[in-house]
Structures are given as structure tokens and as C-alpha cells.
């Protein structure tokens, strides 16, 4: 009487669960990579050796085409005071970080400083403007 095994050993390998895992990892990395964007507006910042760090309340960008952006929202020069005033409403000592391209004329920087000073006069606050730079190489 020969004893035979009823279970046959199969040499096949199921890859269905492995493909599910690969797709889940792919979706995870695609989602996390799109969430990371330190500066959505491409700028070449001026270089400096100073290392002043401040708590930033609001970021204003001026790109190479001399367009203003308040927290990545395009704003015309005429509505700069209103846009910054709305963002800084309720704050007394806020820091406005200016990220201006190195090719921007000084007049556009002065226009932003004047807008913040006008907000200070109207609301009796002490907001300040800080110019963002990159490290000198």
C-alpha cells in the first residue's frame, strides 16, 4: 500500500499582492512629493553674508517681471496696501518678508516698504519689512 500525498506542490508564485503594494507606494510618493514646494515662485535672490532670522508673518514676492505676489497670490501695485493690510489684520508686530529677484529695480522694493509704512500709519501698528537673501558663496 503506497501512501500518496494529496497536496501537490506548485512552483507558481502569485504576484497580485506585490503589484498592489507597488502601486500603493507609488501613490504615496507622488502625493508627498507634490506637497513639498518651498518656493512656488522662481526667484534668484540677492546674495548676502548677514544671517538675520525672523519670525515671518507674511511673504511678498517680486519676480523678474516686476509682478507682486502676496503669499503666492498675484496682486497689482495699486491694491498692494489692501492685500497686505487684509493679511496682517489683527497683528501688531508682524514681519513682512520680501523675496525679490536680484534683477528687480529698487523702486519696486521701495513701493512695498511704502505700502507697509502706510498700513502702519493707518492702523497704528509696527510692522517691518525684511529682505530675504541667499548665502554668499
- Judge whether 130 lies within some domain: yes
* pLDDT one digit per residue (tens) for the chain, 137 residues: 567 767 777 777 777 788 888 999 999 888 877 666 555 666 666 666 766 666 668 899 999 899 999 988 999 999 999 999 999 888 888 889 998 888 999 999 999 999 999 999 999 999 989 888 777 77
- Judge whether 32 lies within some domain: no
Q: Give me the number of domains the chain comprises.
A: 1
- Judge whether 104 lies within some domain: yes
User: Can you give the pLDDT at residue 83?
Assistant: 93
Closest CA to 86 of 71, 107, 67: 71
Cell 532670522 belongs to residue:
53
Q: Domain with 126 in it: what CATH number? A: 3.30.420.270
- Judge whether 37 lies within some domain: no
- Judge whether 3 lies within some domain: no
Supply the pTM of this predicted model: 0.63
Sequence-ordered alpha helix ranges (H) in the chain: 16-35, 80-87, 106-123
The answer to whether 66 and 79 are in contact (CB under 8 A) is no
Beta strands across the sheet bearing 58-62: 73-75, 68-70, 58-62, 95-100, 128-131
User: Can you give the pLDDT at residue 102?
Assistant: 86
- Judge whether 80 lies within some domain: yes
User: Can you give the pLDDT at residue 53?
Assistant: 63
State the residue range of the domain holding 62: 47-135
User: Can you give the pLDDT at residue 47?
Assistant: 67
Amino acid at each position: 500500500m503506497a501512501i500518496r500525498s494529496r497536496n501537490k506542490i506548485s512552483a507558481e508564485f502569485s504576484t497580485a499582492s506585490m503589484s498592489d503594494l507597488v502601486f500603493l507606494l507609488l501613490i504615496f510618493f507622488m502625493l508627498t512629493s507634490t506637497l513639498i514646494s518651498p518656493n512656488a515662485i522662481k526667484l534668484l535672490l540677492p546674495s548676502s553674508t548677514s544671517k538675520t532670522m525672523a519670525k515671518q508673518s507674511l511673504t511678498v514676492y517680486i519676480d523678474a517681471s516686476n509682478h507682486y505676489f502676496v503669499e503666492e497670490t498675484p496682486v497689482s501695485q495699486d491694491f498692494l496696501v489692501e492685500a497686505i493690510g487684509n493679511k496682517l489684520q489683527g497683528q501688531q508686530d508682524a514681519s513682512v518678508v520680501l523675496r525679490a529677484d536680484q534683477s528687480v529695480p529698487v523702486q519696486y522694493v521701495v513701493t512695498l516698504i511704502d505700502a507697509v509704512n502706510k498700513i502702519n500709519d493707518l492702523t497704528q501698528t509696527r510692522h517691518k519689512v525684511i529682505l530675504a537673501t541667499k548665502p554668499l558663496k
